[in-house]
């Protein structure tokens, strides 16, 4: 069974929680955390989609009648199935990328420990994000603040897992972000350059 109190502890007292939980590292346990969180978030998102709510809390305008109801049911079931899968896959892949950079910065931890600590806070944040996502206007602002706090939790988890300084812990996650941003920018520029002759011919 999941100790939901652990989610509260990791959000309110991350340093001590990561330190205490390090010895309990287990990919199976962490996966259960992410699946349950994904199911809860998927249920919330599915209800919002079925009700015709957009991410900003407004009505999506699915339309009346059987078509609207059918789309709502499909959206609900899809959210309930896809969200847990995306949550687990995103966590495992994201942790793998971070682990590679942790090794570059001479991190002493292993993939299991790092992934477990990341999963502890990732799970409740998935649910919080889903709830805030259906709140009009203010939800987007609050989700941005949650994302910033998530980076702090990420830093603390990496620091504990790999026994590195705060600076190195930040570098472990910020460098992949920079690399990704550069790659996206290059692809965007390449796409625009490829499209320019076609646009000029119109």
Distance CA 186, CA 178 (A): 12
SS3 23: helix
Average pLDDT, the chain: 87
Alpha-carbon span 47 to 134, nearest angstrom: 10
State residue 48's pLDDT score. 80
> Quick one: pLDDT at residue 186?
92
Check whether 68 has a pLDDT greater than 70. no
**Structure tokens, 13:** 């007292």
Please give the tally of structural domains in the chain.
1
pLDDT of residue 58: 39
Determine the Cα–Cα distance for residues 4 and 41; give it in Å rounded to an integer: 15
Residue written as token pair 């309990």:
24
Does the model's pTM come out above 0.75? Answer: yes
Rounded to 10 degrees, the C-alpha dihedral 102/83/145/100 comes to 10
pLDDT at 66: 38
Reply yes or no on whether the pLDDT at 70 is more than 80: no
Q: Which pLDDT tens digit goes with each residue over 41-58?
A: 999 988 887 776 554 443
Structural domain for 28, as ranges: 4-201
Extract the tokens encoding 134.
């259906």
* Per-residue pLDDT tens digits for 26-43: 999 999 999 999 999 999
Helices (H), ranges, the chain: 4-12, 14-21, 27-50, 65-104, 111-132, 138-162, 166-201
| Beta-bridge mates of residue 115 | none
């Amino acid at each position: 069974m999941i100790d939901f109190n652990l989610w509260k502890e990791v959000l309110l007292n991350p340093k001590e929680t990561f330190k205490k939980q390090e010895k309990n590292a287990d990919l199976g346990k962490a996966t259960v955390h992410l699946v349950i969180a994904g199911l809860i978030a998927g249920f919330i998102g599915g209800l919002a989609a079925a009700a015709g709510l957009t991410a900003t809390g407004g009505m999506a305008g699915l339309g009346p009648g059987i078509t609207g109801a059918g789309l709502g049911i499909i959206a609900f079931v899809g959210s309930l199935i896809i969200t847990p899968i995306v949550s687990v896959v995103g966590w495992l892949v994201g942790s793998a990328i971070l682990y590679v950079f942790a090794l570059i910065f001479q991190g002493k931890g292993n993939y299991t420990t790092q992934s477990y600590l990341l999963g502890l806070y990732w799970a409740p944040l998935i649910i919080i994000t889903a709830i805030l996502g259906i709140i009009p206007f203010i939800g987007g602002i609050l989700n941005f603040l949650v994302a910033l706090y998530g980076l702090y939790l990420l830093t603390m988890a990496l620091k504990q897992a790999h026994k590195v300084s705060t600076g190195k812990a930040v570098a472990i996650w910020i460098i992949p972000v920079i690399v990704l941003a550069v790659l996206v920018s290059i692809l965007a520029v390449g796409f625009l350059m490829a499209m320019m002759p076609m646009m000029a011919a119109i």
